[in-house]
Amino acid sequence: MSESIVGAKAYYFALKVILLHRLLQDQKEYVISNQLLRSSTSIGANIEEAQAGISRKDFAAKMAIASKEARESRYWLRLLSDSGLIKDYDFTDLFTEINEIVKMLTKIVKTTQLETYK
């Protein structure tokens, strides 16, 4: 089975967050960096698991979890950006990517739920 577009986006987003996490760890920022790493890597993991779902309801549930993790990741990014913990770091690309992922997952979840509960 080929990888979904949202799955690929989540994977590459997670790779970028891993690099950011390393930068944060070097600056001795552990709490937010670990939270961001967990939620960001969980997005793709849940998408991957959803693709092996045993039913449409199972698929929708896993994609909803991925959507929640994406929103959580966006929250941690906002905290990092607004707190100024990292000087001269441009969060623009990460925000663009996470916003795209959230929109895609929201659409997938709503569409799947409508189809499942007709």
Q: Where are the alpha helices (DSSP H) in the chain?
A: 5-26, 31-50, 56-83, 92-116
Domain limits at 42? 5-116
> What total of structural domains would you count in the chain?
1
> Burial of 86 by CB count in 10 Å (0-12 exposed, 13-18 middle, 19+ buried)?
middle
- Decide if 105 contacts 66 (C-beta within 8 A): yes
Residue 57: CATH number of its domain? 1.20.1440.60
Walk along the chain (118 residues) and give the pLDDT tens digit of each residue: 447 999 999 999 999 999 999 999 999 999 999 999 999 999 999 999 999 989 999 999 999 999 999 999 999 999 999 999 888 899 999 999 999 999 999 999 999 988 776 6
Amino acid at 30: Y
Distance CA 61, CA 108 (A): 11
